[in-house]
Structure 1
Amino acid sequence: MPTSVETTDPAGIDYGWVMQVTFVLTIVVGAPVVAALSLFVTLPTWNARANFAIRVGAVVWLCIGIPVYAYARSHSEMST
């Protein structure tokens, strides 16, 4: 049987955790934000609604993803 060549580096940032937390928080926070902001905008077509959700969702994703990454980075430096 051939030996396994897979390796892992446990030190450093856990990017899987960062992506999972960002995904969940973006949905939990982003859905109410998009819904609330859509009350103040006229969205006559489905295309307009989709574009609005994508644009607001992208901003929410960045506003959540950057702090989550910073948190993971600060805690990975503490443990090393």
Structure 2
Amino acid sequence: MPEPVESHDPEGVDYAWVMQTTFALTIVVGAPVVAVVSLLVGVSLPTWAARAEFAIRVGALVWFVVAVGVFLYARSQE
């Protein structure tokens, strides 16, 4: 018989949920945002290094905005 799975009922913000949701939403939202921004800005990205640097810079901004939004949502649901 398998061991029962432990449950956790956090007081306040569930930071594990915030981190997991931020990770998933950043991928789902971030990839299209990076693609659209690269097309709209019209920046020349001739090498893979330039493309990676651009994706990291835009992705970092997307991650920050998503993280703050998810945290504020989790805090409002307390």
What is aligned with 1:54? Answer: 56
TM-score, normalising length from structure 1?
A: 0.79
TM-score, normalising length from structure 2?
A: 0.81
Paired residues, what number? Answer: 69
Alpha-carbon separation, structure 2, partners of 1:52 and 1:65: 20
Q: Quick one: which of 72, 75, 79 aligns to 2:74?
A: 72
Is 1:10 aligned to 2:18, yes or no? no
Percent identity at matched positions? 67
The structure having more radius of gyration, on CA atoms, is 1
Deviations 1:14-68 (A, max 9, x none): 0010011111111111000101111222101111101000000000001111010
Name segments (4+ residues, structure 1) moved above 2 Å: none
SS of the residue aligned with 2:18?
helix
Alpha-carbon separation, structure 2, partners of 1:52 and 1:75: 35
Unaligned runs of 5+ in 2: 1-7
RMSD value, Cα:
1.3
